Amino acid sequence: MLHGHHGSVFVRITKAMSDSANPSLEELRWDYHVNTLRREDLAPDPLNQFKKWFEEALAAEIREPNAMTLSTIGLDGYPTSRTVLMKDYTDDGVTFFTNYESRKGRELEANPVASVLFFWKDLERQTLIRGKVERLAAEESTRYFLSRPYDSRIGAWASKQSEEIPNRGWLDERVEKFETEFPDSGSEENVPRPEFWGGYLLIPEFVEFWQGQPGRKHDRFEYRRNEGEWSARRLSP
């Protein structure tokens, strides 16, 4: 259920902060009023619920609604997080692409589990998806790679992602090298997909939907998969 209180909430919070020229961290908070989430609103399948929320994020014209924080388990045992873009979602899960030799690629090869978090600020919502990760088939990765802009495809070849480099000039020289090797002919296939670059599918085992509420009484529902069947439960905020 959507309610149009964005403006009034913004004015109320802005006024409160404007009373102090330099508000302390303790004063920086937002009073959530935009939406609600009740059990009767939930779809039986969390991926259908995700589809509904994602379409509402698109309709609200949120900038990069497909941006998500991807968290993996580091080779040193510490968690690692970064923002990546979801490039597809189906009944099987959510898809993203990267350099397989990057930090996240190496971490996913060593421990193929991950979580992704979507935060849609204007709707005061977030969705957390946790599960196992597997590589996409090579043909799926190639199909997506060839759809990318020329500069992005060159960048995939040029970047030794997550490795230390001496300076910015080193990267610029790499870009020039591959622009010479793969000149822009206007064809999708003029820059082939590197074997070290491709996609992953995150297969959900747990999905949580969080909706901000007044007084920090947020609505939280978690779906769990058990033997192929989904069940949902309400969590305390």
**Residue 224's CATH number:** 2.30.110.10
Asked if 64 and 10 sit in the same domain, the reply is no
Distance, CA of 207 to CA of 164 (rounded, Å): 35
Is position 48 within any domain?
yes
Is position 111 within any domain?
yes
Distance, CA of 78 to CA of 80 (rounded, Å): 7
Distance, CA of 93 to CA of 237 (rounded, Å): 26
Asked if 193 and 215 sit in the same domain, the reply is yes
Into how many domains does the chain fold?
Answer: 2
Distance, CA of 180 to CA of 177 (rounded, Å): 5
Residue type at position 60: A
Distance, CA of 219 to CA of 35 (rounded, Å): 10
pLDDT of 219 reads 94
Q: Which domain holds residue 128?
A: 44-235
Contacts of 79 (CB under 8 A, 6+ apart): 71, 72, 73
pLDDT of 13 reads 44
Is position 199 within any domain?
yes
Asked if 133 and 93 sit in the same domain, the reply is yes
Asked if 130 and 72 sit in the same domain, the reply is yes
Per-position DSSP letters for 36-81, written without gaps between them: ---GGG--SSHHHHHHHHHHHHHHTT-SSTTEEEEEEE-TTS-EEE
**Which of the following is catalytic: 29, 38, 39, 216?**
216
Asked if 1 and 67 sit in the same domain, the reply is no
What H or E segment, with its residue span, contains residue 9? helix 6-18
**Is residue 216 annotated as part of the catalytic site, yes or no?**
yes
Asked if 104 and 18 sit in the same domain, the reply is no
Asked if 11 and 127 sit in the same domain, the reply is no
Is position 202 within any domain?
yes
Asked if 94 and 204 sit in the same domain, the reply is yes
pTM: 0.87
Asked if 174 and 121 sit in the same domain, the reply is yes
Asked if 147 and 215 sit in the same domain, the reply is yes
User: pLDDT tens per residue, the chain (237 residues)?
Assistant: 444 444 434 334 444 444 556 778 887 777 787 888 999 999 999 999 999 999 999 999 999 999 999 999 999 999 999 999 999 999 999 999 999 999 999 999 999 999 999 999 999 999 999 999 999 999 999 999 999 999 999 999 999 999 899 999 999 999 999 999 999 988 878 999 999 999 999 999 999 999 999 988 899 999 999 988 999 999 999
pLDDT of 228 reads 87
Distance, CA of 73 to CA of 164 (rounded, Å): 21
Q: Which residues pair with 118 in a beta bridge?
A: 127
Q: Strand, coil or helix: what is 34?
A: coil
Q: Is 156 exposed, middle or buried (0-12, 13-18, 19+ CB in 10 A)?
A: buried
Distance, CA of 1 to CA of 54 (rounded, Å): 14
Is position 36 within any domain?
no
Asked if 48 and 106 sit in the same domain, the reply is yes
Asked if 17 and 109 sit in the same domain, the reply is no
Is position 197 within any domain?
yes
